[in-house]
Amino acid sequence: MTTMRFFAIGSWTEGMFHFQKLRPFVVSYEPARIKASAYRLPIGFPVLVAQNEGTNLDNGDEIIGQLIELKFDETLLALMDTLHGVNRAEPSKGLHQRVQAQVTKNSGETEVVDTYFYNPAKLTAKATRIAGGVWQDSLAQNPSLVEQLTEKQRTYVKKLGSAKGRDIVPINDLSLYRELMKLDLIVDKGRRLALSLLGKEVYNHLV
Protein backbone atom coordinates (compact mmCIF):
# COMPACT_ATOMS: atom_id res chain seq x y z
CA MET A 1 0.00 0.00 0.00
CA THR A 2 1.32 3.44 -0.92
CA THR A 3 0.99 6.11 1.74
CA MET A 4 1.76 9.79 2.16
CA ARG A 5 2.76 11.64 5.31
CA PHE A 6 2.10 15.25 6.22
CA PHE A 7 2.49 17.48 9.27
CA ALA A 8 -0.58 19.23 10.62
CA ILE A 9 -1.82 21.55 13.36
CA GLY A 10 -5.25 22.90 14.29
CA SER A 11 -8.35 21.61 12.56
CA TRP A 12 -6.36 18.88 10.77
CA THR A 13 -5.29 17.13 13.98
CA GLU A 14 -6.97 14.19 15.75
CA GLY A 15 -10.48 14.97 17.00
CA MET A 16 -10.80 18.17 14.98
CA PHE A 17 -13.02 19.00 12.01
CA HIS A 18 -10.79 18.27 9.02
CA PHE A 19 -9.21 15.23 10.65
CA GLN A 20 -12.65 13.62 10.83
CA LYS A 21 -12.99 14.08 7.06
CA LEU A 22 -9.66 12.31 6.57
CA ARG A 23 -10.41 9.54 9.09
CA PRO A 24 -11.24 6.80 6.52
CA PHE A 25 -7.80 7.33 4.94
CA VAL A 26 -5.73 7.64 8.13
CA VAL A 27 -3.20 4.85 8.64
CA SER A 28 -1.48 6.32 11.69
CA TYR A 29 -0.65 9.57 13.45
CA GLU A 30 1.86 10.60 16.09
CA PRO A 31 3.12 13.75 17.82
CA ALA A 32 5.81 15.72 16.02
CA ARG A 33 7.17 19.24 16.01
CA ILE A 34 8.33 21.74 13.43
CA LYS A 35 10.24 25.02 13.43
CA ALA A 36 7.85 27.71 12.16
CA SER A 37 5.45 30.42 13.33
CA ALA A 38 1.79 29.87 14.21
CA TYR A 39 -0.89 32.47 13.51
CA ARG A 40 -4.58 32.56 14.34
CA LEU A 41 -6.81 33.63 11.46
CA PRO A 42 -10.03 35.62 12.03
CA ILE A 43 -12.01 32.36 12.01
CA GLY A 44 -9.90 31.33 14.99
CA PHE A 45 -8.04 28.31 13.64
CA PRO A 46 -4.23 28.30 13.61
CA VAL A 47 -2.01 28.08 10.53
CA LEU A 48 1.71 27.59 10.03
CA VAL A 49 3.93 30.22 8.46
CA ALA A 50 7.42 29.13 7.39
CA GLN A 51 10.28 30.70 9.33
CA ASN A 52 12.11 33.59 7.70
CA GLU A 53 9.07 34.32 5.53
CA GLY A 54 7.25 37.64 5.57
CA THR A 55 8.00 40.30 8.20
CA ASN A 56 9.10 39.98 11.83
CA LEU A 57 8.99 36.19 11.88
CA ASP A 58 12.61 35.81 13.19
CA ASN A 59 13.50 32.14 13.50
CA GLY A 60 10.08 30.83 14.45
CA ASP A 61 8.99 28.61 17.33
CA GLU A 62 9.06 24.89 17.91
CA ILE A 63 5.44 24.03 17.20
CA ILE A 64 3.87 20.76 18.29
CA GLY A 65 1.48 19.09 15.86
CA GLN A 66 0.85 15.68 14.37
CA LEU A 67 2.58 13.64 11.71
CA ILE A 68 -0.26 11.93 9.86
CA GLU A 69 0.08 9.00 7.50
CA LEU A 70 -2.64 8.57 4.89
CA LYS A 71 -3.46 6.04 2.21
CA PHE A 72 -2.18 7.79 -0.89
CA ASP A 73 -4.72 8.88 -3.44
CA GLU A 74 -4.30 11.66 -6.03
CA THR A 75 -7.95 12.62 -5.64
CA LEU A 76 -7.55 12.96 -1.86
CA LEU A 77 -4.37 15.01 -2.31
CA ALA A 78 -6.16 17.31 -4.76
CA LEU A 79 -9.03 17.70 -2.27
CA MET A 80 -6.61 18.58 0.54
CA ASP A 81 -4.93 21.14 -1.69
CA THR A 82 -8.31 22.63 -2.54
CA LEU A 83 -9.38 22.84 1.11
CA HIS A 84 -6.09 24.60 1.92
CA GLY A 85 -6.53 27.02 -0.97
CA VAL A 86 -3.43 25.84 -2.82
CA ASN A 87 -2.97 27.33 -6.28
CA ARG A 88 -1.01 24.66 -8.17
CA ALA A 89 -0.58 26.82 -11.27
CA GLU A 90 0.62 29.92 -9.39
CA PRO A 91 1.65 28.89 -5.83
CA SER A 92 2.39 32.48 -4.76
CA LYS A 93 -1.29 33.38 -5.22
CA GLY A 94 -2.69 30.57 -3.06
CA LEU A 95 -3.68 30.75 0.62
CA HIS A 96 -1.36 27.85 1.41
CA GLN A 97 1.63 26.30 -0.29
CA ARG A 98 2.34 22.58 0.09
CA VAL A 99 6.06 22.05 0.50
CA GLN A 100 8.48 19.51 1.94
CA ALA A 101 9.69 20.43 5.43
CA GLN A 102 11.62 18.71 8.19
CA VAL A 103 9.76 17.62 11.32
CA THR A 104 11.04 15.96 14.48
CA LYS A 105 9.27 13.02 16.11
CA ASN A 106 9.21 12.31 19.85
CA SER A 107 11.92 9.73 19.31
CA GLY A 108 14.22 12.50 18.10
CA GLU A 109 14.20 11.10 14.57
CA THR A 110 13.70 13.69 11.83
CA GLU A 111 11.69 13.25 8.66
CA VAL A 112 10.93 15.42 5.64
CA VAL A 113 7.20 15.43 4.86
CA ASP A 114 4.52 17.47 3.12
CA THR A 115 3.52 20.54 5.11
CA TYR A 116 0.98 23.25 4.34
CA PHE A 117 2.40 26.70 5.05
CA TYR A 118 0.13 29.74 4.95
CA ASN A 119 1.10 32.38 2.42
CA PRO A 120 2.46 35.30 4.52
CA ALA A 121 1.29 37.73 1.83
CA LYS A 122 -2.28 36.67 2.69
CA LEU A 123 -2.00 37.42 6.41
CA THR A 124 -4.26 40.34 7.30
CA ALA A 125 -4.05 42.74 10.23
CA LYS A 126 -6.67 40.59 11.97
CA ALA A 127 -4.37 37.56 12.01
CA THR A 128 -2.41 37.32 15.25
CA ARG A 129 0.79 35.47 15.97
CA ILE A 130 0.52 32.87 18.73
CA ALA A 131 3.24 33.51 21.29
CA GLY A 132 5.50 30.49 21.54
CA GLY A 133 3.44 28.71 18.90
CA VAL A 134 1.32 27.01 21.57
CA TRP A 135 -1.85 26.90 19.49
CA GLN A 136 -3.51 24.25 21.70
CA ASP A 137 -3.54 26.63 24.68
CA SER A 138 -4.72 29.47 22.47
CA LEU A 139 -7.71 27.42 21.25
CA ALA A 140 -8.51 26.24 24.78
CA GLN A 141 -8.57 29.82 26.08
CA ASN A 142 -10.38 31.27 23.07
CA PRO A 143 -12.26 28.71 20.91
CA SER A 144 -12.61 29.22 17.17
CA LEU A 145 -15.47 31.30 15.84
CA VAL A 146 -17.13 28.11 14.56
CA GLU A 147 -17.29 26.71 18.09
CA GLN A 148 -18.65 29.95 19.52
CA LEU A 149 -21.70 30.15 17.25
CA THR A 150 -25.15 29.54 18.70
CA GLU A 151 -27.39 26.91 17.12
CA LYS A 152 -29.52 29.65 15.50
CA GLN A 153 -26.45 31.28 14.01
CA ARG A 154 -25.14 27.95 12.70
CA THR A 155 -28.50 27.06 11.18
CA TYR A 156 -28.83 30.35 9.31
CA VAL A 157 -25.23 30.32 8.03
CA LYS A 158 -25.80 26.79 6.69
CA LYS A 159 -29.07 27.80 5.02
CA LEU A 160 -27.51 30.86 3.43
CA GLY A 161 -24.42 28.93 2.37
CA SER A 162 -26.45 26.22 0.64
CA ALA A 163 -28.71 28.69 -1.22
CA LYS A 164 -28.54 28.50 -5.01
CA GLY A 165 -27.77 31.44 -7.26
CA ARG A 166 -29.63 34.54 -6.15
CA ASP A 167 -32.08 32.72 -3.89
CA ILE A 168 -33.36 34.88 -1.06
CA VAL A 169 -33.01 33.39 2.42
CA PRO A 170 -35.14 35.58 4.72
CA ILE A 171 -34.09 36.36 8.27
CA ASN A 172 -37.03 37.26 10.49
CA ASP A 173 -35.07 37.61 13.72
CA LEU A 174 -33.62 41.12 14.00
CA SER A 175 -31.36 40.09 16.87
CA LEU A 176 -29.93 37.25 14.78
CA TYR A 177 -29.36 39.65 11.89
CA ARG A 178 -27.46 42.05 14.16
CA GLU A 179 -25.38 39.22 15.66
CA LEU A 180 -24.33 37.89 12.26
CA MET A 181 -23.53 41.39 10.98
CA LYS A 182 -21.43 42.11 14.09
CA LEU A 183 -19.54 38.84 13.56
CA ASP A 184 -18.94 39.88 9.94
CA LEU A 185 -20.50 36.65 8.68
CA ILE A 186 -23.07 38.19 6.34
CA VAL A 187 -23.33 41.17 4.00
CA ASP A 188 -26.57 42.98 3.25
CA LYS A 189 -27.02 43.47 -0.48
CA GLY A 190 -30.30 45.30 -0.13
CA ARG A 191 -32.81 42.79 -1.50
CA ARG A 192 -30.94 39.78 -0.17
CA LEU A 193 -28.28 38.67 2.28
CA ALA A 194 -25.11 36.81 1.37
CA LEU A 195 -22.23 35.28 3.26
CA SER A 196 -19.10 37.39 3.65
CA LEU A 197 -15.70 35.86 2.92
CA LEU A 198 -15.42 34.98 6.60
CA GLY A 199 -18.97 33.62 6.51
CA LYS A 200 -18.07 31.35 3.60
CA GLU A 201 -15.07 30.05 5.53
CA VAL A 202 -17.28 29.34 8.55
CA TYR A 203 -19.83 27.60 6.31
CA ASN A 204 -17.11 25.31 4.94
CA HIS A 205 -16.43 24.20 8.53
CA LEU A 206 -20.10 23.47 9.18
CA VAL A 207 -20.82 21.12 6.26
Residues of the chain with pLDDT under 50: 53-57
pLDDT at 185: 96
CATH number of residue 126's parent domain:
3.10.490.10
189 residue type, one letter: K
pLDDT value for 52:
65
| Beta carbons of 9 and 135 less than 8 angstroms apart | yes
What are the residue ranges of helices labelled H in the chain?
A: 17-22, 74-84, 135-141, 145-148, 151-162, 174-182, 197-204
How many domains, in total, are found in the chain? 2
pLDDT at 190: 81
pLDDT at residue 51, as a whole number = 79
**Pairwise CA distance, residues 70 & 23, whole Å:** 9
Same domain, 133 and 57: yes
End-to-end CA distance of the chain: 30
Residue 94, pLDDT score: 94
Instruction: Specify whether 56 is located in the same domain as 135.
Output: yes
**Strand-strand pairing, 3-8 and 61-71:** antiparallel
Q: Are residues 100 and 62 in the same domain?
A: yes
